[in-house]
Amino acid sequence: MQNSASAQQIEQDVLAAMSRPSRCYLACILLAGLLFLGGMALWGRQIALGMGVAGISHPVGWGVYITDFVFWVGIAHSGTLISAVLYIFRARFRTSFNRAAEAMTLFALMVAGLFPLIHLGRVWLAYFLFPYPNQRQLWVNFRSPLVWDVFAVSTYMLVSLVFFYIGLLPDLAIVARRRPGPVGKIYRLLTLGWVGSSQQWRHYAKLYFLLAAFATPLVASVHSIVSWDFAVSIVPGWHTTIFAPYFVAGAILSGTAMVITLVIPMRRLLRLEAYIPVTHIEAIAKILLLTSLIVSFAYIVEQGLAFYSGNLFEMEQFRFRALGDYRLLFWIMISCNSLLPMTLFVGRLRRNLAYLFVLSLLVNVGMWLERFVIVVTSLARDFDPYAWGNYTPSLTEIGITAGSFGLFFLLFLLFIKVLPVLSITELKER
Amino acid sequence: MDRRQFLQMLGLVSGAAALSSCGSDKGQKELVSLLVPTEDGIVPGTEAWRPSTCCECPAHCGLLTRIRENRPVKLEGNPRHPVNRGGLCLRGQASLWRLYHPQRLQSPLKRQADGRLQTIPWSQALAEIAEALQHSRRQSRQNAWLAGRTSGTLNALLEEFCSSLGIERLAEFEPFSHAALRQSYGLLFDRADLPRYRGDQADLLITVGADLLETFLSPVDYTTQASALAADQKRHWLHLEPHYSLTGANADDRLVLTPGSEGSLLLWLLQSLASQRRYRGRWPQALQDLLPASDLAATAAATGLRSQQLQQLASRFARAEKPLLIVGGVATGHRNGQPVALLGALLQWLTALPWGGMDFSAGENYSRVGSLLDLEELSQRLAADRIGVLFVSRCDPVRHSPAALGLQGTLAKARLRVGLADLADDTTDQMDLILPLAHGLETWGDTEPRRGVIGLLQPLRTPQQQALSEGDLLLKLLRQATGKSPAADWETYLQRNWQNRFSRVQLGQLMDDGYLTEPQPQLSIRLDLARAAKALQGLHLQAPLTLPAAVIAPSIRSFDGRSRSLELLSEIPDPLTTISYGSWVAIAPQTAARLRLQDGDELQMKTAAWQSKQPVRIQPGQAAKVLTLPMDSLPAPATGIDPLTGEALRYCEALHLKPTGKRHRLPILAGSPSQQGRGLIPTPVHRQQKHDQQNHGPRASFYPEPHYENYRWAMAIDLQRCIGCSACVAACYVENNVPVVGAADHLAGREMSWLRIEPFYDEQGRVDFLPMLCQHCNYAPCEAVCPVYAAYHNPEGLNVQVYNRCVGTRYCSNNCPYKVRRFNWWQHKRTPPLDLLRNPDLPLRSKGMMEKCTFCLQRIRIAKDRAKDQKRLVQDGEATPACAQSCPAGAIAFGNLLDKESGIYRLVHSQRAYRVLAELGTEPAVHYLRPE
């Protein structure tokens, strides 16, 4: 019973975040909302006028939209990693992040899911991409990785949502208990009749573990399939077997970076320093360092393969990446994803939150650029030299990308006011 | 009443209600009735082919016009026509854009005092002209008629018109007047006309400046000749020029000489040939004595060629059985033009005339064409206020006269200036009255482009506006001015003339075939020794031009500039530079390096009297101190007049070159001038490498091999024959309603061409052209990645695109190694009335869809339907895509690969056949025959 006082304290501290919003918070919501609306307006304009408002062209048929898609799917990755994989491995520092990471996963997936639609030339026919029964007997092409994408992303979305929700049930009951009035009733409804009996807890633990086990292979599968969007093609720079592990590592790198980006300010603003100790953040930073090393290895392998292949198309492609028109982006990418994270070998820097925050932002930039470099440079220099051509994003594409960040932060800001940002029950267990 | 009956009744009643409410007064006019046969016999959905003649340039190729729903929708070369034999150039294809041009002049226009144009009725225009004619006669001013080259019955009517109204018919004006050539032939042979050169029969063709493939006399004819020459390994074609032209690019050998030095070269050639035993007998000693001295070293110095090259040239020339030398084009457009033409004619007399290499009996009908000297005289008369009414018909002298002539200023002195044109140009901008002319496809008429060849014009579309044919206009004017006219209308006049001239059989032939040939008496050409001697005495060769010099070169896309306003021709890139819209100057890589210029950097070219600023395009193979300025880049493409011949001078010498530091965005469509060693057009080195790579053994695949029952459509493109003229590209645009998107989209890399010509230069600056279109692969990378089966493989091997199923992921385009798929970035609309130019056999494409070459599926469909009606399979040659049909060089063949007797089967199994990027295993259906 000596824990009950501190349990009360935990409940109070965590739920304090859900109190009446401050002006600063409202301003942030407004900003994010405006960005999102601006992005949607630009999308509307694109639907009305045609894809010509984007900078994509011939031969570069995919640009910022696909970059954004892969970027957001990547961000969505570490939620499952931190929640499910670390849960199975019983890594205790997980509790500091898992709720935020899971929420991030969901929101990033929502944002990511928009981009395949945004990039479609005829989005009003997007339902063609689903295998639905119809009298015209039209079917989707299961040889196309784009169809695999539809399944991979929707499966991941579904599992992540269930996992998030199940994990949330006991906490929802706490919120419902502490909130009187109609709001509490809504929370009560959402608990699906959770009373916290030992039988419920037993079932809960089993289900949660099962879901964690179920979600774990998805960490590998989703981004592997996303990488096959590229690897299955014949485009030099895309068509390579290392893409699946390379993309998964990259996804975890960008996901952990995004977790750091979100958690450090959240910890400070919501005064959760006691519950998210620096050592836990340091553990995440180590994952970041590890995945950064894997990604760097992939960079070296890629260039090496091209160099040794004797394949003119591959060689020109990788020469172009490093020395061609987009070389600046390539070298920023190398700096952000490979060189800067190496500094995390130094323990003091790993524990310096300000440094980690800046680094995580830079890794996010680097990972976005990585996808941009892969998508764009490969298309810009493929087989027929006559058809070579460069790509510059248009304002529409930049605006919609900004809008996607707006949507993401909007959802995240709403999340921290509506749901407990840390797993109260797990904190109590700790 | 049971349920069944109720539904029947309901269906009947609602059907009747719907049908009866469909019509409206307005609607009936616009809808083609499917139930009631129309009065004009047009059956919706069926095509008709009518013969006609192309009027886009003076060559007048024979046409077959495809009519759908009372509208011409496609032009094709008439396969039996003696001028073009089935081929049609890109300008001919684009001629329909003139017919439906949004800026076509629609009614008579009168210039107001403030310079603006006002629409007036025909009656007022005619009355004003008649009054002005009378007025100037009273004031004893001369009325004059200046026209472009005119032939056939219109010539007769014009003669009658001018004589009965006392109008002086001025020498006809053509920017490419070939005046120097005609002058020499007139002087030496007493035939001041242009012969038909028989390059098809020569075993050695030497062209000096004459751009046979682009604008010289009859480009489609000469393209056909050149392709026959190219296909024969034993025959040789050598081209000499200072700049880089498409003609030079396609000759077996291209020798670059200093501009203006052609005369020295010809003189030396004449000297060395005349001393050969073979020609010594024919060459009169009297002339030999008069020939100015010439030696190898001096000639080499003047021309910039190596002595070895010169000797090789001379010995080759001397050895040839049937040598043919053709001079012209830029070689006669400088101050040495007269000696070049004269020496050229003497060489022709010595070498080509004996074996019949020049056919004066089939002369090109240029005898009434004048030169810039005539224009100069007109300008002087105008300045002296001696001209009352001046008519300018079908020509643009303002643009094509040198600024020094001051025609723009002197024109103002005429009392009334009347312009006859279909589109506004620099000359109509100076006119008081502008009368709209009908297009060649809207009127009756005949032409005689070459002596003995009569081509038919017939109305295939009623003029939508008030445009009149020139014949009708003349008759109306005659009636207005004199009160009587020789015929009620032009058609009657024409019929009467034809009946007088032709037999019933001939007339039937003219109507059915669209052309008529009349045997011409053989002309014997004799050299007038006395005049030749006199001319040689007066021969004065001036020094070659001072470098750096700019050559103002004609363009295959616009002829002399007259086709400039057809947007389709700007959409199709220049074959050598791949620039589509805008102006430029082509410079050598060395010059660019020296001046630190890159593509698009602005260069100032300056002489004392002339200057121009143009963005540069680096042209591999260009001579170091010679610049190529396309005629269309300049507001006035003639820099002066050669006082000896009246030719326009098309050079600027002793240029001062200075980069201005400005940069333009040029729509250069080629991503790279070289094929980057990729063997898209294999070199011998590549052939060896490819051979090693292709021994992979059988293909491993999860999926079944494609199986074809009756047809496997395939194409073979002979790169040896392909000259890069882009006629196929234009044909494809028109046949397939390919959107024309304009300069902005070209700069963004969004051109929509289904077929493009890719020029690839080697280190020596030699170029090969690779027509690139959908390869219809057996294992198409686009098909596998389409999530919705919009790209799919049909049972005849065609890679088809189901437009309505396409959702627009663009993955197919990304995964296409040939990059031939085109995405609709916008909803493309054509400005009316250009929207009428639409092949109704094709489905509409809207924004967000992918499209690409279909091997002209609709034409295959027509052939298959016909075959099905006759219960047989499609035979070889029955289905031809538009590109193959239009190719003047006969480089594209199409057919069914399963038919072992077919031409395509033979070509695909030829020694030279290869497939582009074969190492990718896509197994394209387009086979290329490599150049040798």
What CATH number is attached to the domain comprising B502? 3.40.50.740
Going by the DSSP 8-state scheme, the letter that residue A89 receives in this structure is T
Q: Report, in this order, helix, strand and coil percent for chain A, each rounded to 5.
A: 80, 0, 20
Integer angstrom CA distances of residue B652 from B340, B655, B677:
18, 7, 37
List the single residue in A with minimal CA-CA distance to B745: A52
The larger pLDDT score, comparing residue A39 to residue B931, is at A39
Please say whether the beta carbons of B226 and B199 come within 8 A.
yes
Interface test with A, best of B669, B814, B844 (most A CBs within 10 A): B814
Q: Report, in this order, helix, strand and coil percent for chain B, each rounded to 5.
A: 35, 20, 45
Tokens of B887: 């190719």
List the single residue in B with minimal CA-CA distance to A49: B826
- Put simply, the answer to whether B825 touches A150 (Cβ < 8 Å) is no
pLDDT at residue B419 tops 70: yes
Q: Phi, psi (5° rounding) for residue B408?
A: -60, -40
Count Cβ atoms below 10 Å from residue B684 Cβ, excluding itself: 8
Query: What string of pLDDT tens digits covers the 430 residues of chain A?
Result: 345 557 777 777 777 777 788 888 999 999 999 999 999 999 999 999 999 999 999 999 999 999 999 999 998 887 777 788 888 887 777 777 788 888 989 999 999 999 999 999 999 999 999 999 988 888 999 999 999 988 998 999 999 999 999 989 988 998 888 888 888 889 999 988 888 899 999 999 899 989 988 888 888 888 899 999 999 999 999 999 999 999 999 998 998 898 899 889 888 888 888 888 888 889 889 999 999 999 999 999 999 999 898 888 999 999 999 999 999 999 999 999 999 999 999 989 999 999 999 999 999 999 999 999 999 999 999 999 999 999 999 999 999 999 999 999 999 999 988 888 888 777 777 6
Note whether B735 and B866 are same-domain residues. Answer: yes
Note whether B272 and B332 are same-domain residues. Answer: yes
Q: Which of B758, B814, B848 sits opposite A122 (nearest CB)?
A: B848
List the single residue in A with minimal CA-CA distance to B757: A386
Across B836-861, average pLDDT: 93
The C-alpha atoms of residue B916 and residue B679 are separated, in whole angstroms, by 8
Domain assignment present for residue B32? The answer is no
pLDDT of residue A245: 92
- Put simply, the answer to whether A122 touches B822 (Cβ < 8 Å) is no
- Put simply, the answer to whether B847 touches A139 (Cβ < 8 Å) is no
List CB contacts (< 8 A) between A138 and chain B.
788-789, 805
pLDDT tens figures, B569-601: 999 999 999 999 999 999 999 999 999 999 999
Reported pTM: 0.92
What CATH number is attached to the domain comprising B624? 2.40.40.20
The C-alpha atoms of residue B750 and residue B744 are separated, in whole angstroms, by 9
List CB contacts (< 8 A) between A147 and chain B.
787
List the single residue in A with minimal CA-CA distance to B680: A384
Q: Phi, psi (5° rounding) for residue A238?
A: -105, -40
Please say whether the beta carbons of A419 and A168 come within 8 A.
yes
Q: What angle is formed at CA A361 by the lines to CA A356 and CA A367, rounded to 5 degrees?
A: 120
pLDDT tens figures, B11-57: 999 988 887 766 555 544 545 455 555 556 667 788 889 999 999 99
Integer angstrom CA distances of residue B333 from B2, B214, B656:
90, 16, 21
Tokens of B432: 């008081």
- Put simply, the answer to whether B813 touches A61 (Cβ < 8 Å) is yes
Among residues B319, B337, B359, which one ends one of the domains?
B359
Count Cβ atoms below 10 Å from residue A25 Cβ, excluding itself: 14
pLDDT tens figures, B515-560: 999 998 888 888 988 999 999 888 888 989 998 999 999 999 999 9
Integer angstrom CA distances of residue B427 from B193, B397, B414, B465:
27, 6, 13, 22
- Put simply, the answer to whether A59 touches B809 (Cβ < 8 Å) is no
Residue matched to tokens 């044909």: B731
Interface test with A, best of B809, B829, B919, B922 (most A CBs within 10 A): B809
pLDDT of residue A2: 42
- Put simply, the answer to whether B676 touches A385 (Cβ < 8 Å) is yes
Note whether B184 and B172 are same-domain residues. Answer: no
Q: How confident is the model at residue B690 (pLDDT cuts 50, 70, 90)?
A: low
- Put simply, the answer to whether B756 touches A125 (Cβ < 8 Å) is no
Domain assignment present for residue B531? The answer is no
List the single residue in A with minimal CA-CA distance to B922: A234
pLDDT tens figures, B764-782: 999 999 999 999 999 999 9
Tokens of B570: 């700007």
**ipTM more than 0.90?**
yes
Domain assignment present for residue B783? The answer is yes
Please say whether the beta carbons of B362 and B452 come within 8 A.
yes
- Put simply, the answer to whether B815 touches A147 (Cβ < 8 Å) is no
**Which residues neighbour B305 within 8 Å (Cβ) at sequence distance 6 or greater?**
B255, B256, B257, B265, B299
List the single residue in B with minimal CA-CA distance to A392: B748
CA end-to-end span of chain B, whole Å? 82
pLDDT of residue A4: 53
CA end-to-end span of chain A, whole Å? 14
Note whether B877 and B735 are same-domain residues. Answer: yes
- Put simply, the answer to whether A233 touches B847 (Cβ < 8 Å) is no
Note whether B582 and B637 are same-domain residues. Answer: yes
The distance of B749 to chain A (nearest Cα, Å) reads: 5
Domain assignment present for residue B12? The answer is no
Note whether B168 and B196 are same-domain residues. Answer: no
- The structural domain count of chain B equals 4
pLDDT of residue A5: 55
pLDDT of residue B683: 81
* Dihedral (Cα; B653, B659, B662, B668), 10-degree rounding: 70
Integer angstrom CA distances of residue B682 from B34, B678, B685, B842, B932:
54, 8, 8, 36, 10
**Which residues neighbour A321 within 8 Å (Cβ) at sequence distance 6 or greater?**
A237, A327, A330, A373, A377
Express as a percent the part of chain B with pLDDT over 70: 96
Instruction: Note the residue count of chain B.
Output: 932
Q: Which helix (H) or strand (E) holds B92?
A: helix B90-99
pLDDT of residue B27: 45
pLDDT of residue B461: 83
The C-alpha atoms of residue A304 and residue A312 are separated, in whole angstroms, by 14
Q: Which of B758, B788, B826 sits opposite A386 (nearest CB)?
A: B758
List CB contacts (< 8 A) between A128 and chain B.
787-788, 805, 807
pLDDT at residue B696 tops 60: no
The C-alpha atoms of residue A153 and residue A175 are separated, in whole angstroms, by 31
List CB contacts (< 8 A) between A120 and chain B.
807-809, 848
Domain containing B639 equals 549-663
Least confident of B31-45, B200-214, B245-259: B31-45
Domain assignment present for residue B687? The answer is no
User: Which three-class secondary structure state does DSSP give residue B391?
Assistant: strand
List CB contacts (< 8 A) between B671 and chain A.
59, 385-389
Q: Give the CB-side neighbour count of residue B856, counting CA atoms within 13 A.
A: 26
The C-alpha atoms of residue B31 and residue B834 are separated, in whole angstroms, by 19
- Put simply, the answer to whether B814 touches A128 (Cβ < 8 Å) is no
Q: Which of B670, B678, B808 sits opposite A121 (nearest CB)?
A: B808
The C-alpha atoms of residue B86 and residue B95 are separated, in whole angstroms, by 16
Note whether B575 and B492 are same-domain residues. Answer: no
User: Which three-class secondary structure state does DSSP give residue B929?
Assistant: strand
- Put simply, the answer to whether B748 touches A55 (Cβ < 8 Å) is yes
Residue matched to tokens 């009334």: B416
Note whether B298 and B325 are same-domain residues. Answer: yes
The larger pLDDT score, comparing residue B177 to residue A429, is at B177
Q: Which of B671, B813, B920 sits opposite A234 (nearest CB)?
A: B920
The C-alpha atoms of residue A296 and residue A319 are separated, in whole angstroms, by 17
3-state secondary structure B550-607: EEEECECCCECCCCCCCHHHHHCCCCCCCECCCCCEEECHHHHHHHCCCCCEEEEEEC
List the single residue in B with minimal CA-CA distance to A115: B809
The C-alpha atoms of residue B596 and residue B626 are separated, in whole angstroms, by 16
The distance of A301 to chain B (nearest Cα, Å) reads: 23
Q: How confident is the model at residue B464 (pLDDT cuts 50, 70, 90)?
A: low
**Boundaries of every domain in chain A:** 34-124+160-429
The distance of A146 to chain B (nearest Cα, Å) reads: 6
Q: Which of B750, B814, B920 sits opposite A52 (nearest CB)?
A: B750
Q: Which of B770, B784, B807 sits opposite A122 (nearest CB)?
A: B807
Q: Which of B680, B750, B827 sits opposite A57 (nearest CB)?
A: B750
The C-alpha atoms of residue B819 and residue A314 are separated, in whole angstroms, by 17
Helix residue ranges, H only, B253-336:
262-274, 277-280, 285-290, 296-303, 307-319
The C-alpha atoms of residue B630 and residue B243 are separated, in whole angstroms, by 11
Q: What does DSSP say about strands B117-119 and B109-111: parallel, antiparallel, or unpaired? A: antiparallel
Note whether B648 and B794 are same-domain residues. Answer: no
List the single residue in B with minimal CA-CA distance to A389: B671
CB burial of B207-223 (b: ≥16 within 10 Å; e: otherwise) equals bbbbbbbbbbbbbbbbb
The C-alpha atoms of residue B446 and residue B155 are separated, in whole angstroms, by 10
Note whether B857 and B901 are same-domain residues. Answer: yes
Size of interface A-B (CB pairs under 8 A): 165
The C-alpha atoms of residue A131 and residue A142 are separated, in whole angstroms, by 9
List CB contacts (< 8 A) between A60 and chain B.
749
Note whether B870 and B740 are same-domain residues. Answer: yes
Interface test with B, best of A51, A58, A312 (most B CBs within 10 A): A58
Note whether B741 and B841 are same-domain residues. Answer: yes
List CB contacts (< 8 A) between A226 and chain B.
none
